[in-house]
Amino acid sequence: MFFGLYSRPFATITGGQQVSGTYAFGHLYFGIRTNHAPGVTTKLSILNNGNVGMGSVNPNQKHEALFMQPE
d(CA 49, CA 7): 33
d(CA 14, CA 34): 17
Q: pLDDT tens, 15-54?
A: 888 777 766 678 889 998 888 777 888 888 988 888 888 8
Using only C-alpha atoms, what is the Rg of the chain? Answer: 13
Burial environment of residue 30 by CB neighbours within 10 A (0 to 12, 13 to 18, 19 or more): middle
For residues 11 and 31, the answer to whether their CB atoms sit within 8 Å is: yes
Instruction: Answer whether 0.85 is exceeded by the pTM.
Output: no
pLDDT of 9 over the 70 cut = yes
